[in-house]
Copies of this chain bind each other. A is one copy, B any other.
Amino acid sequence: MATTSRDTAREILEVVPLVMRTVRTEMRERRAHDLSVPQFRTLGFVERHAGTSLSELAEHIGLTLPSMSKLIDGLVERKLVTRQGRSDDRRRITLALTARGCALLESAHESTQASLAERLSALDENERAIVVRALRILHPLFVRGKTEGRYGYS
């Protein structure tokens, strides 16, 4: 029997939310830092796009400018992010992670990965290889593309 796109979609809708729930839960438990999900995502984006502006960040996270501004207020207060003026266009700001923000993000990511790996140790090597292969097949289909939305989620 052929595996249709519909079959695959059904399977994805059944399994992926389960996996995501676990990832989220572990992310939350590990953080010990009391960050909301949008705050976390913000740190991640700023890490990958050091020097980004507020507008660009807001666009990618899916928050309005005022909400993003306020969120950044909090991260700056906690010394996880720096906010500097720009000399070339003085309306704009430049955002970057502090060493502390970078370390926090790193450690959260690391420990989430570790706890996930523990769960996956129940698989044998062949099974893991199939999983990795499947994920690499899916990856390009879900990178930020045309059918993309403006939402940030949280």
Contact = CB atoms under 8 A, between A and B. Distances in A.
A19 to B, nearest CB: 5
Contacts of A128: 3-5, 7-8
Contact of A131 (B8, B17, B22, B113): B8
A146 to B, nearest CB: 10
A75 to B, nearest CB: 20
A20 interface: yes
Nearest to A120: B5
Contact of A117 (B5, B134, B143): B5
A141 interface: yes
A72 to B, nearest CB: 21
State the majority secondary structure of interface residues on A. Answer: helix
A148 interface: yes
Contacts of A29: 149
Interface string A109-144: 100111111111111010111111111111101110
B16 A153 contact: no
Interface string A22-53: 11111011000000000000000000000000
A117 B6 contact: yes
Contacts of A137: 123, 127, 130-131
A44 to B, nearest CB: 10
Contacts of A147: 22, 26, 115, 119
Shortest Cβ-Cβ A-B pairs, 8 listed = A134-B134, A25-B149, A9-B116, A5-B117, A9-B117, A18-B142, A5-B120, A15-B135
